[in-house]
Structures are given as structure tokens and as C-alpha cells.
Amino acid sequence: MLELRQPDVLVLGTGRSGTSFTAFVLGTALKVCMGIPRPKAIQKCDFDNYKELMQRLQPKRDKTKHRLGTAWESMIKPSWAVVNKEITPRNWLITFNSIHVHCVSNTKYIGVKTPILLWVPADFWDTVKPRIIINAIRTKEQVFNSNKKWGKKLGWNDEKWGIYEEIRDDVLSNLPGYIELDFSVERDIQYVVDRIKPLLES
């Protein structure tokens, strides 16, 4: 029987707010297994120089974002299923562990990017109990502009944003605790590392 591990890190936040970037930093600079193996090019590297990390990976980032892996695609269906109460939070945790099966026994930290979980019922957090919850944020204007640049599939408008903000703030107010990463100014590896590394190591 699979021994279930609780997530060390869950990354939340609306689309285009820095969730993928956060997961990228977690999976590379902080060596958090985000659900799929790290590319061979970085598996054996110990990146203490975060500027070097960005220089080495930036040209390939767009093409390798999925492989740098957030297991996001793997967790869409179970995350929506737990939101819609079609599966239990324990079922979600079992799925989370199954996508980490290659690293769950030999990796210090495991996590996943799961923006959908901002919508889950309150009992989810009692069962899943992540050590660190990250909420990535940018301004509404930045999210809208980024959405226009990368496509309209997210369909953000003022009405949807208002509903999202209301639900998000209600959910966050009931969480056991979370850390906010504000990418309104810039996306910077060192900023993420400085905020998250001490929490991982504590």
C-alpha cells in the first residue's frame, strides 16, 4: 500500500500571476519534486548561483516549462473533481502521491502547482495538510494584459475577476496559513528562494 506523504508545497494563484514561474524555481533552484523528474541537464546540478541558473535555462524555459514540471496537467482533473465533491480530499492526496511515485521515497520535498485548489471545500485542508501554501499574485491589469498576450482561453474580465477575488479572499482567510509571492514588479528567482527556502528548511 502506498504510504501517503503530505505536500511540502502547494502553489496557488490565478493564471498569469507567476504560478508557473514559482513552480519552475521550486523544481530547479530549491529541488522540490513537482511531480515529474527534472530534466537530465539539471538533475545533477547544485545551483547556488541563481543568476547562472536563469541564464542557463531562460533560453529554453518556454519549451521546457512542462518538463521542468509542475504536474499541473496531471492534477487538473482530480483538482476539479475535489472542488465539485466528486472525489474526497483523500482521493486527491492518493493521486498526488501517485504522480510523485518516482520521487516520494527519495526526495526531501514534494509539491505541485494547483491554482484550482483555491476553490476547494474547507475539509480539503484538514486532510491534505500542506506544509507551505504559496499564493502568487499580480495586479488585475497585469493578469489581463498577460492573458491578452498569451491567448484568451482564460477569459478574464471584470466580472470573473470580481468573483475570483471574493472566493479567493474567503478561502485564504480560512487557511491555516500561507505565504504570498508578489510578482507585480518582476519575476526574480532570488526573491522566491529567499522567501521559500527558510520555510522548507525549518
Which pLDDT tens digit goes with each residue over 50-62?
A: 555 555 555 444 4
Class of domain 9-201: alpha beta
Spatial CA neighbour of 7 closest among 175, 128, 172, 94: 128
Mean pLDDT value of segment 110-115: 87
pLDDT surpassing 80 at residue 96 = yes
As a whole number of angstroms, the distance between CA 11 and CA 19 comes to 6
pLDDT of residue 64: 43
Q: Is residue 174 classed exposed, middle or buried when 0-12, 13-18 and 19+ CB atoms within 10 A define those classes?
A: exposed
Spatial CA neighbour of 137 closest among 146, 149, 124: 146
Where along the chain do its domains lie? Answer: 9-201
Q: What is the pLDDT of residues 144-186, one digit of tens each?
A: 777 666 656 666 778 877 887 787 788 778 777 889 999 888 8
As a whole number of angstroms, the distance between CA 97 and CA 155 comes to 31
Question: Would you place residue 38 in the very low, low, confident or very high pLDDT band (cuts 50, 70, 90)?
Answer: low
Mean of the per-residue pLDDT values of the chain = 78
Of 112 and 162, which is predicted with more confidence? 112
Percent of the chain with pLDDT over 90: 23
As a whole number of angstroms, the distance between CA 31 and CA 107 comes to 8
